[in-house]
Amino acid sequence: MMMNRENDTIAAIATAPGRSGIGVIRISGSDALNIADGLIVSKKGKKLDILGQPSHTVKYGFFYDGNEIVDEVLVSVFKKPRSYTAEDTVEISCHGGSFVLRRVLSHIIKKGARAADPGEFTKRAFLNGRIDLTEAEAVMDVISSSNEFARKNAMTLLRGGLYKRISTLRERIIHETAFLEAALDDPEHYSLEGYSTDLREKVMEMITEIEELRSGSDTGRILKSGIKTAIVGKPNVGKSSILNLLTGEDRAIVTDIPGTTRDVLSSEIHIGGIPLILSDTAGIRNTKDMVEKIGVERSREAIEKADLVLFTVDSSSELSNEDTEIFDHIMSLRKNCIVLLNKTDLRNEQRKAFDFSCPVIDFSVPEEKGLEELKDTVGEMFLSGKIKADEEIYITNERQLMELSLSKECLELVKKSIDDNMTEDFFTSDLMDAYSHLGNVTGESTDEDLFDRIFSEFCMGK
């Protein structure tokens, strides 16, 4: 748990570790301007007046440690409250060598700053009211986003999209609670006749809205983290060739010898903007080879963990017992499955068509046939053909989803009390619990321990 040191001036390297063209050191707090003042000297040898430097301006100079020039730098000043943390903030852009950055940071700490804890800059932005908790958590989602959907969704949250929805719900709940309390305290001036019926309708509307917020979580998780996709089939049906085609590189060894792939190989690709975490698995068959047997077992585990199975069949030969056994196993696990009838370039046109209870695609690696149909089929299977509008909110944060679920449960208790003809004083307790859980989503009624736990997961310098 972080110690309560909100009055300290903090500093950290805000850019990722390693060599780079530029590295940034951020200083924030009441003494940030004083600490930076006098450390940077202009080209003419005059100390820069950081205290007198206007907000949102940049100056060029040389960072000094005593009489020694450490680096050539740019100094940006952001005066409160118009900064990331809503405190006085100075950002020093240095050359990106790790030794130079550590040297500059060390001198800043000697001048009175404290090394920032992970996530402490964003925690201060939250505590100072510049952002709410959903926006703070969205900061890390932006940083960790690995595809365009994840970035867009994080930016929607960062702009306060979820906060606005939650705030509106809380206002409606507190309005009803206040009316109930007033009516119970002063029945002569506030009538509760027919109010239960009216409240039930409003509660049902709020339950529906919370469920709408929660409903996109599976889609959001898939698009944020990727669809876990296993390419499976018996040996020598072309699984590795398909992996290489989809990834655009030779990730897997391809030979005519069955059992070449002995372990699960993973790659991330995007099909029509949808991220897929592809796993090329060992061919599934009965074998006495101990190493191959381990690979087969891992293939079965990959099927169990997968969101999608690409079941690959050699369409140039008849369906075998091994094929049907693998397919039956996939179906027994109720997995989303697409059958790839591979090697259609070698297919005998007289052969009988396959009959599977899932989408089937004719596929050929040499002809690159079936790629567009695969993209469309994956989209239809996981997204009903399309992603909703950019402004749609997809909640993928487990903490937020849990609090929404708890709030919904409290509102359902209100509905049950109404249906059971309970007296109105039963309603207020559950309404306020729902109000509190919604407040936990945005950080308006969350305890300090949870704040510390959330922000400790952030990267250093943010």
Q: Tens of pLDDT along 166-184?
A: 999 999 999 998 888 888 8
Q: Comparing C-alpha atoms, which of 88, 107, 127 is closest to residue 5? A: 127
* CB 414 within 8 Å of CB 204: no
φ, ψ dihedrals at 63, nearest 5°: -85, 125
Q: Which residues pair with 313 in a beta bridge?
A: 341
Q: Token pair for residue 318?
A: 């008849």
C-alpha to C-alpha distance for 62 and 71, rounded to whole angstroms: 6
Residues 6+ apart with CB under 8 A from 387: 149, 219, 223, 273
Q: Give the CATH fold of the 139-216+395-443 domain.
A: Four Helix Bundle (Hemerythrin (Met), subunit A) (1.20.120)
More confident residue, 266 or 187: 187
**Tell me: the pLDDT tens digits for 369-426?**
888 888 888 877 776 544 444 456 778 788 888 999 999 999 999 999 999 988 887 8
More confident residue, 13 or 184: 13
Residue ranges per domain, the chain?
Answer: 10-132, 139-216+395-443, 223-383
Percent of the chain whose pLDDT exceeds 70: 81
Taking the model in full, what pTM does it have? 0.66
CATH (residue range 10-132) = 3.30.1360.120
Q: Give the CATH fold of the 223-383 domain.
A: Rossmann fold (3.40.50)
